[in-house]
């Protein structure tokens, strides 16, 4: 039986047109874009073309503002550490939020080991940052504000434009981790008003292991990778040209298909949310009802463990995730769910469903059917569920 | 006419078997190796298989000692900065040599901006480090010795085993940048006795944008990329699985073909060196006559500029380089050539020829023929050559 992929946040399938372009690039056997001879020239042309496509996707007016990286993780690390190191003469304070991705959390933890200080602002019950809190957190020593565009666990989209008004007034650099937004929802770096924006190729059906960092012209960032003069002197190393070419084509397809993808994803999400009450009792939907990703649903299911649901669904060839795959090794409760007020048990019982362009309404139906059975089985063996029901029966 | 590639140090063509494996991987549309469901399982298997192949290539006894990176540049940055940051409580001094690749030079320049200190030991006229100089340079505060395995401009191979004896005695970590050696000459991390060893996939006909860092078990290194727990917690980020699979296959082919490749490359190199006097006057061959890469010849040609030769050869569809492609943007004289005693003019007149498995003896012949004409033309328009010849004629 076909595997139903409802875990697109871990990995999307690379689209056929992107695959073809990458296969073509492999057969072309490109040289090194930095070489000074013909073999290198063709590689340099292909690199520039991809950069222009990717710049268009985020509406960067100058393609050189896009620095290709090895993925979202490198982009975020380069943004945060690159700004911190380059501006340490001005200050050593960074403002972030309580619901950022592990990449930000751990990059900032690393910087704290190097005498930087961090203020993390809270979020409301929907996972949204209050821009006033950001304004209040900014001090004279603040060199960077880093707030994600959309949350990878609950899908909430942050008020980035409002925050960028504040950072502009206060003359502090602003980075947004838009890894789960770029290519999923329309992103315009000029409209958002950010100085740096991290993104990756895979969320829009390009290959994994390729990403980009938008760095507004004139912003000083220390490279994490020193060496050659590649990527406008901001990221040394021979390029993963095959991956970059794939990302370029994926960006073009996304620009072409954004509207139809959005309506398809929203339809699936609506269907799931509408039908869920027929299949499940005692659950919460996490995240903001309006400011949210169109492809993500986070459900906290009472009395069970998310990990167990993932494993049971997997036996029925349905892939979902408990949280980001990056954190799969760590069995702690999600800091995001705790930040929006879920208790430890609810956080443990959470499942993240992420749709892609290939999902169908039938996929939703099969998922709901299997979910219902899985939750029933798991609750039957849950001591907490049994106790709570016994208590309810006694009260009745 | 077919382009003759004699610039394999900038980029090697990816071998057909490697291309096939990568195309197969693209069509497989792998998931995320860190996921907890079936889609991710296959990806994790492919990742592990590649790691085992690559570990075998460098004779690492524990595959987990190999950390996949985005290429040689990242490997070197991770080694040098990762050790520097992780061991700053012990000291802030690093020992290196005068002939390292720009990646080391610039990584160390970056660390100097962060209060680290560097001692750089000289080399002899062949570009070789004297291990005694390394021993003398090590101080109480020394946390790392970083000496390249082979030089990317002149091909000289360093006495790594002798140096590792010293670093072991003195209990200092030892990293070697083996980017231009791994897959070209046999490399055995256990025999070399190093703690860290950087390498990349492309020098052995794998894709660009993929590399590895050998980190001996137990060595503490701070990740440059913080985030997920990938790569044994030493390098976060979703993997470039397609590139890694290509690198794995390239490693297997290299293990299989090392002997025949070596004899082929040595034969080409011998032919070039033997026939050169029939085509060229007044030149030096740079590098060590015995301890040298089998695929590289560095020639300093008097009275001309290397850049001009590269451009003229390119017009005749022959690709060579003046130095590493990474430094192509910078028109300074090579620090390596100056370090081995070449003067500024000779350094400017240097050309690097690097062979690959697909080169033939006919390629050498055509190269020499075109080189002779190019040098004749360039010398005829060289004021220095005209003056020198006039002076010689006057003396005669």
Question: What are the residue ranges spanned by the domains of chain B?
Answer: 4-10+258-395, 16-254
Q: Which residues of chain B have pLDDT under 70?
A: 1, 324-331
pLDDT of residue A331: 59
Contacts of B29 in chain A (CB under 8 A): 13-14, 19
Which residues in chain A (234-253) have CB-CB distances under 8 A to chain B?
236-243
The kind and range of the H/E element at A354 are strand A350-354
Q: Name the residue facing B236 among A103, A209, A317 (closest C-beta).
A: A103
Q: Which 3 state secondary structure label does DSSP give B175?
A: strand
- The reply to whether residue B329 touches residue A228, judged by beta carbons under 8 angstroms, is yes
Residue A148 confidence (pLDDT) above 80:
yes
Burial class (CB in 10 A: 0-12, 13-18, 19+), B11: buried
- The reply to whether residue B38 touches residue A3, judged by beta carbons under 8 angstroms, is yes
Query: Are the C-beta atoms of residues A259 and A294 closer than 8 Å to each other?
Result: no
Instruction: Tell me the catalytic residues of A.
Output: 326
pLDDT of residue B325: 43
Provide the token pair at A81.
């550490």
Q: How many CB atoms within 10 Å of residue A67?
A: 25
Q: In the CATH scheme, what architecture does the domain B4-10+258-395 have?
A: Alpha-Beta Complex (3.90)
Task: Assess A111–B contact: CB distance below 8 Å, yes or no.
Answer: no
**% helix, strand, coil for chain A, step of 5:** 45, 15, 35
Distance between CA atoms of B91 and B76, rounded to whole angstroms? 20
pLDDT tens profile B206-256 = 999 999 999 999 999 999 999 998 999 999 999 999 999 999 999 999 999
Query: Are the C-beta atoms of residues B365 and B373 closer than 8 Å to each other?
Result: no
Q: Which residue of B has its CA nearest to A240?
A: B209
Q: Name the residue facing A34 among B38, B225, B326 (closest C-beta).
A: B326
Average pLDDT, integer, range A254-273: 98
State the nearest Cα–Cα gap between B5 and chain A, in angstroms.
Answer: 8
Provide the token pair at A127.
């996972």
Distance between CA atoms of B250 and B225, rounded to whole angstroms? 26
State the nearest Cα–Cα gap between A210 and chain B, in angstroms.
Answer: 7
pLDDT tens profile B92-123 = 999 999 999 999 999 999 999 999 999 999 99
Residue A281: closest CA among A266, A301, A299, A267: A301
- The reply to whether residue A39 touches residue B7, judged by beta carbons under 8 angstroms, is yes
Instruction: Tell me the catalytic residues of B.
Output: 326
Task: Assess A181–B contact: CB distance below 8 Å, yes or no.
Answer: no
pLDDT of residue A330: 52
Q: Name the residue facing B328 among A30, A36, A106 (closest C-beta).
A: A36
pLDDT tens profile A55-112 = 999 999 999 999 999 999 999 999 999 999 999 999 999 999 999 999 999 999 999 9
pLDDT of residue B36: 78
Residue A381 confidence (pLDDT) above 60:
yes
A144-169 burial, b if ≥16 CB within 10 A, otherwise e? bbbbbbbbbbbbbbbebeebbebbee
pLDDT tens profile A16-61 = 999 999 999 999 988 889 887 888 889 999 999 999 999 999 999 9
A87 Cβ contact list (under 8 Å, min separation 6): A143, A144, A173, A220
- The reply to whether residue A326 touches residue B228, judged by beta carbons under 8 angstroms, is yes
Contacts of A356 in chain B (CB under 8 A): none
- Strand A196-200, strand A173-177: pairing: parallel
The model's confidence at residue A376, banded by pLDDT at 50, 70 and 90, is very high
Supply the CATH classification number for the domain B16-254. Answer: 3.40.640.10
Q: Name the residue facing B22 among A26, A200, A208 (closest C-beta).
A: A26
Average pLDDT, integer, range A305-315: 92
State the nearest Cα–Cα gap between A294 and chain B, in angstroms.
Answer: 21
Task: Assess B324–A contact: CB distance below 8 Å, yes or no.
Answer: yes
């Amino acid at each position: 039986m076909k595997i139903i992929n409802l875990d697109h946040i871990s990995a999307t399938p690379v689209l056929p047109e992107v695959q073809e372009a990458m296969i073509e690039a492999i057969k072309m056997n490109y040289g090194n874009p930095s070489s000074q001879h013909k073999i290198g020239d063709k590689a340099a042309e292909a690199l520039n073309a991809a950069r222009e496509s990717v710049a268009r996707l985020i509406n960067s007016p100058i393609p050189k503002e896009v620095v290709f990286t090895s993925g979202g993780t490198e982009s975020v690390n380069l943004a945060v550490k690159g700004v911190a190191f380059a501006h340490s003469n001005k200050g050593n304070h960074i403002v972030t939020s309580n619901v950022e991705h592990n990449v930000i959390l751990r990059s900032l933890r690393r910087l704290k080991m190097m005498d930087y200080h961090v203020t993390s602002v809270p979020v409301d019950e929907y996972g949204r940052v209050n821009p006033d809190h950001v304004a209040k957190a900014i001090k004279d020593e603040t060199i960077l504000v880093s707030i994600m565009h959309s949350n990878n666990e609950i899908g909430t989209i942050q008020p980035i434009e409002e925050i960028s008004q504040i950072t502009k007034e206060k003359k502090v650099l602003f980075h947004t981790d838009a890894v789960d937004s770029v290519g999923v929802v329309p992103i315009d770096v000029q409209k958002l008003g950010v100085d740096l924006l991290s993104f990756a190729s895979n969320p829009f059906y390009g290959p994994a292991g390729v990403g980009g960092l938008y760095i507004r012209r004139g912003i000083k960032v220390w490279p994490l990778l020193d060496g050659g003069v590649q990527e406008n002197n901001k990221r040394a190393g021979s390029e993963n040209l095959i991956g970059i070419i794939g990302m370029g084509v994926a960006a073009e397809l996304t620009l072409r298909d954004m509207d139809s993808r959005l309506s398809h994803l929203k339809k699936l999400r609506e269907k799931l949310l509408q039908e869920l009450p027929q299949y499940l009792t005692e659950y919460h939907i996490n995240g903001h009802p309006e400011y949210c990703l169109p492809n993500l649903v986070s459900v906290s299911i009472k009395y069970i463990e998310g990990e167990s649901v993932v494993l049971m669904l997997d036996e029925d060839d349905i892939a979902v995730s408990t949280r980001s795959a990056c954190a799969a090794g760590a069995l702690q409760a999600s800091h995001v769910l705790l930040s929006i007020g879920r208790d430890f048990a609810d956080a443990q019982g959470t499942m993240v469903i992420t749709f892609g362009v290939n999902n169908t309404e039938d996929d939703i139906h099969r998922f709901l059917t299997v979910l219902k059975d899985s939750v029933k089985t798991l609750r039957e063996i849950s001591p907490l569920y049994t106790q709570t029901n016994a208590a309810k029966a006694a009260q009745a």
